[in-house]
Amino acid sequence: MSDVADETTTNTYDGFSHMAMVLTPPSSHDDMGALKIVDPDGDLILRSERSGSIKVCSAALRRASPVFKAMLFGPWKEAKPATGTWVVHIDDSEWPNALDIILPVIHGVPFDPPAVNAQQLSEVLIFADLYDMRQLLRPWITQCLVQHCKRGVEWKIPIYNQLRLLPLLRVAWEHGLADRFSTLLKGAILFGYKKDLEGLRDAGTICPENPHLLEKPAQIREALVTEYLEFYYKECETPCLAFDPPKSLAEMAERRTCHDGKLAVIGESLYPDGPVPKSAKDYTSRICNLDIQMAEVFQSELQVRKGHEACHPTPRFDVFKEALQRKIDCYKVLQPADETLLAERREKWGL
């Protein structure tokens, strides 16, 4: 049975000026929906959960990647069977967009640099590292970066974990993209977990000229968490501001009731899994979570008694955040020597 139907529809990907893949209806050997055709004369079907079934040329994969060469032409289960359709399953759960972008490139499909976002580019880089294809894809990556720079694309990724972050940091450093490098680290500081920032400390090979550079984000994160915790505990210790000083036993009781009520709300609601950590070293979640939790507790859950409006922490929290934002803006991971080195690399790549 032919893999290609008489009537086909084209599935072109952003930036490709020619037909990248042709879709055909499902056939007896294809239980993953429409078959995508990268090479009509291909002899291999790659099958994955996210990209489905894709017809490719095994020789093209062999030339592009020593990993594919060993996998497809070695003594492994992925080798070509003696009879039947050659199907190889690939786990693309960590890079769901990479196959659809990379396979047309390594098959020589003419293209304009695709308008990939940071998330997609990070997946391509992960795939390139896993399958040892970085050198082959370098011209494509460089052209993508040229387009990113021309369009002023910000590098934001939805999940700031090591898997997503490290490939983008590496390519930003290699190509001298100081702004992108700093944006990624700032995002990691605010939106990454403690373990992700600590993991960067062991990634000195990303910027070998300054191997200690990636120790700074964890230090900055710790300093910022410390600021939040200090504000919280200072607020806990701040007595009721009404009836100051109290002129009667009733006013003293009113002040105590106000303070106890505030402690009960901000203590139980802010950190429901247990007591609020005393030290930044013990806070493992993301800074953005701490910020959102404090704002929600102060603004939504904490109700102060009539005449005790000055006891509400929200105005003080707003002032605190403005001051903290100014501190964040002053934090600089890159030093002048780093910026000079990156400027030279950026000029070298024409970015």
Nearest CA-CA partner of 50 in 30, 67, 33, 68: 33
Cite the DSSP H helix spans in 175-244: 178-191, 194-200, 216-237
Q: Position 291: which residue type? A: D
Q: Position 246: which residue type? A: P
Q: Position 119: which residue type? A: Q
- Residue 31: CB atoms within 10 A of its CB come to 10
72 & 27 share domain: yes
- Both structure tokens of 280: 């930044």
92 & 131 share domain: no
193 & 339 share domain: yes
53 & 148 share domain: no
* pLDDT for 178: 92
Is 1 inside any structural domain?
no
239 & 340 share domain: no
Alpha carbon distance 31, 299 (integer Å):
52
Is 112 inside any structural domain?
no
What's the CA dihedral at 9, 10, 14, 18 to 10 degrees? -160
150 & 173 share domain: yes
230 & 322 share domain: yes
* pLDDT for 113: 64
Distance (Å) of CA 336 to CA 217, 339, 342, 351? 17, 5, 10, 19
Q: Position 190: which residue type? A: L
96 & 21 share domain: yes
11 three-state secondary structure: strand
257 three-state secondary structure: helix
> How many residues are present in the chain?
351
Alpha carbon distance 270, 264 (integer Å):
10
63 & 37 share domain: yes
Tens of each residue's pLDDT in the chain, 351 residues:
334 333 333 333 333 333 344 544 444 444 556 899 999 999 999 999 988 999 999 999 999 999 999 999 999 999 999 999 999 999 998 888 899 999 999 998 866 666 788 888 888 888 998 999 988 888 888 888 888 888 877 788 888 888 888 888 989 998 999 999 998 999 999 999 999 898 888 787 888 888 889 999 999 999 999 999 999 899 888 888 888 888 888 889 988 888 888 888 877 666 656 678 889 999 998 999 889 888 888 887 777 778 888 888 889 999 999 999 888 877 888 989 999 999 999 998 888
- Both structure tokens of 195: 């373990």
Alpha carbon distance 307, 317 (integer Å):
20
Alpha carbon distance 186, 309 (integer Å):
36
* pLDDT for 38: 93
Total domains in the fold of the chain: 3
51 & 82 share domain: yes
Is 186 inside any structural domain?
yes
Where on the phi/psi map is residue 33: left (φ > 0), alpha (ψ -120 to 50), or beta? left
The residue segments making up the domain with residue 127 are 118-210+335-349
Is 113 inside any structural domain?
no
What is the CA angle 121-125-128, rounded to 5? 135
Alpha carbon distance 257, 246 (integer Å):
13
* pLDDT for 3: 40
Alpha carbon distance 204, 173 (integer Å):
12
Is 274 inside any structural domain?
yes
Q: Position 195: which residue type? A: K
231 & 324 share domain: yes
339 & 194 share domain: yes
Element (H, E) at 55: strand 52-56
* pLDDT for 268: 67
Is 2 inside any structural domain?
no
